[in-house]
Amino acid sequence: MSSATSAKTTTPPAATAGPAPAGAGGPAGISRAGADDGRIPLRSHLRHTGALVRRNLLWIRQDPESMFDAVLFPIVFTLLFVYVFGGSIGQSLGGGQEAYVQYIVPGLMAMMGMNMAMGVGTGFNQDFNTGVMDRFRSLPIGRGSVLFAKIAVEVLRMLIATAILLVVGVLVGFDITDWPGLFAAVGLAVLFGSALMWIFITLGVTMKNAQSVQAMGFLVLMPLQFGSSIFAPTQSMPGWLQAFTDVNPLSSLADAARGLMVGGPVAHDLWLTVAWSVGITAVMAPIAIHKFRTKS
């Protein structure tokens, strides 16, 4: 669901044919000075990123359907898991459906970031196949600006989806008792989700079509999501699966979010999630930027 619509989100309107006039060069705010990244100062990089963010936001305004995944995903999955699995799993938590609501909402926050990240990869690949990226790469702008703009817009979509998730969660019984912890959990989920986007951007650049990116994404998503503590406690899982969930970063994120939002141990899972986020970004961001620069 998210991958199909996110492609629209990140695909700007087709550029007009013909060379850009001097001083124009593309989206508003992008100058013609400096032909490669090495001669573009930081201030210009920031201006280029801002112009591209604005371009993508204008595309969302022109195509509101591209927000369907961010709006519908938290509603559908919250209602599905609460009312289908809430009673039975809630009993194992020592309560009922009310106990499961407190368990599942922080977990869905972790799941949502990963699904949004996959949408970045499919949208990015489609932009290449439709020629949008060729237009951007012909402009004298920082190559990283294109990628950072994609991530910035997707983080905004993630925050909107998170807000909807929390509203729906409150409506079905989620009790917010620690507001600072809530904001910390949202920030942690955004940090980890933005790190995952670098992985899917790399897949979007290297794979031939959006369907391949989506298929690879599901191969990664399914075991990570269901082999974690997002949907249910891991104590009843087989020993080999528990060993996997112990090192699964989604388990760390979900458990840290629960600790921050509803109480419980926090420090260990929080620092593990931060370490995973920093490590993934440090490794995959340079690879994604290099692949983008060198893609023929």
Query: Is the four-CA dihedral 166, 107, 190, 204 of positive or negative sign?
Result: negative
Cα–Cα distance between 157 and 74 in angstroms, integer?
A: 12
**Domain definitions of the chain by residue range:** 40-294
pLDDT digits (tens, 9 = 90+) for 95-148: 788 889 999 999 999 888 788 888 788 877 887 777 777 777 777 677 678 888
Cα–Cα distance between 268 and 262 in angstroms, integer?
A: 16
The confidence score (pLDDT) of residue 198 equals 92
**Please, are residues 102 and 262 in contact by the beta-carbon 8 Å criterion?**
yes
Residue 230: band (very low, low, confident or very high) from pLDDT cuts 50, 70, 90:
very high
Residue 57 has pLDDT above 90, yes or no: no
- Give the Cα-Cα-Cα angle 63, 64, 70 (nearest 5 degrees): 125
Q: Residues 243-255: what's their mean pLDDT?
A: 93
Cα–Cα distance between 194 and 155 in angstroms, integer?
A: 7
Residue 296: band (very low, low, confident or very high) from pLDDT cuts 50, 70, 90:
low
The confidence score (pLDDT) of residue 76 equals 93
Query: H helices within 130-142, ranges in order?
Result: 132-137
Pick the more confident residue, 9 or 199. Answer: 199
How many beta carbons lie within 10 A of that of residue 136, not counting itself? 23
Q: Is the pTM of this model over 0.95?
A: no
pLDDT digits (tens, 9 = 90+) for 13-51: 444 334 333 333 444 444 443 444 456 777 777 888 888
Tokens of 15: 């550029």
**Please, are residues 119 and 154 in contact by the beta-carbon 8 Å criterion?**
yes
pLDDT digits (tens, 9 = 90+) for 152-189: 999 999 999 999 999 999 999 999 888 999 999 999 99
Query: 190 CB contacts (<8 Å, ≥6 apart)?
Result: 113, 155, 158, 159, 162
Q: Residues 194-213: what's their mean pLDDT?
A: 88
Pick the more confident residue, 16 or 226. Answer: 226
Tokens of 143: 């190559």
